[in-house]
Structure 1
Amino acid sequence: MKRIYLASSWRNPHQPWLVQLLRNEGHDVYDFRNPPHSTGFSWPEIGLELPCTADEYRTALLTHPRAAQGFNADFAAMRRADVGLLVLPCGRSAHLELGWMAGAGKRTLILTQDNEEPELMALLADTICISVDEVVRELRR
């Protein structure tokens, strides 16, 4: 059993079923959409409507208690995880999360698919998978 931090995007339609599939495989998977003891974080919760100014973004991020709660929940799960799995397509936050995990010496995997924009720094990851089956096999190792 691995403790997995699945980094992705709210807009990624594969995230919910992939969380469930990996849980069915016996893994402890953090679901940022439904974190324990909280709800998934969203910008409108802190009064930030997009698009916004840089000052509005910074102020909301640094001062709103809900932003701190969301960050702390996700970062605690990152620290607890054995494995970071980046599921494309995703945004900048997920890339920051996997980068932190790579720097922390945790095992990192990227799940990509056809037609994703290539990224050179993906070489920081331990493994680049091109199918869910590959992810499952890698996590069994």
Structure 2
Amino acid sequence: MKIYVASSWRNEFQQEVVKQLREAGHEVYDFKNPPGGTGFSWSDVDPNWQNWTNEEYLQDLDHPVSERGFKSDFDAMLWADACVMVMPCGRSAHVEAGWMQGAGKPTAILITEAEPELMYKMFSLVTDSLDDVLSHLFLQDALLKM
């Protein structure tokens, strides 16, 4: 199964999830280490990005580095059969997971720190167990092949 892992650069558990999914036989998109490049960072657009005005942010959404980063991640979302969002994470991962679920792709939320959110009920699975995620993906893969 092709899996998109949505998370945060600051999430230390994300790389372990990628590793275990791959060991379970899945193809996995890792936004920190995408094929043919390095992951997107706003600091590659502008080292002063944290002090941007709204106007600067809106302008730099069209920066070539932003365009490449978006294309890499969104192409991977289109490619993937399913998504695993690893908590804690930020806005981008939530948008990615929401898009994946809305596109009809099974999306699991792996909670590593309690951050209650009622709307997580819309996702295929919400759990604090990577084993549950692996079992869920195995079942989803079998259903896709039927």
TM-score after normalising by structure 1: 0.93
Give ranges in structure 1 of 5+ residues lacking alignment: none
Report 1:48-87 matches (<5 A). Answer: 48-62=48-62, 64-87=63-86
**In 1, Cα distance between equivalents of 2:112 and 2:66:** 31
How many positions carry a matched residue from both structures?
A: 138
Amino acid at match of 2:33: N
Q: What is the CA–CA distance in structure 1 between the aligned matches of 2:38 and 2:23, rounded to whole Å?
A: 22
Q: How far apart, in 2, do the equivalents of 1:49 and 1:93 lie?
A: 16
Which one-letter code corresponds to 1:136 in the other structure?
L
Cα distance in 1 for residues equivalent to 2:31 and 2:41 = 11
Name 1:13's counterpart in structure 2: 12
Residue 27 of structure 1 is matched in structure 2 by: 26
User: What RMSD over aligned residues (CA atoms) do the two structures have, in Å?
Assistant: 1.1
Runs of 4+ in 1 over 3 A off after TM superposition: none
Residue number in structure 2 paired with 1:134: 132
**Structure 2 counterpart of 1:119:** 117
Gaps of 5+ in 2: 140-146
Identity of aligned residues (%): 49
Which residue identity does 1:133 align to in structure 2?
D
Q: In structure 2, give the amino acid aligned to 1:60.
A: D
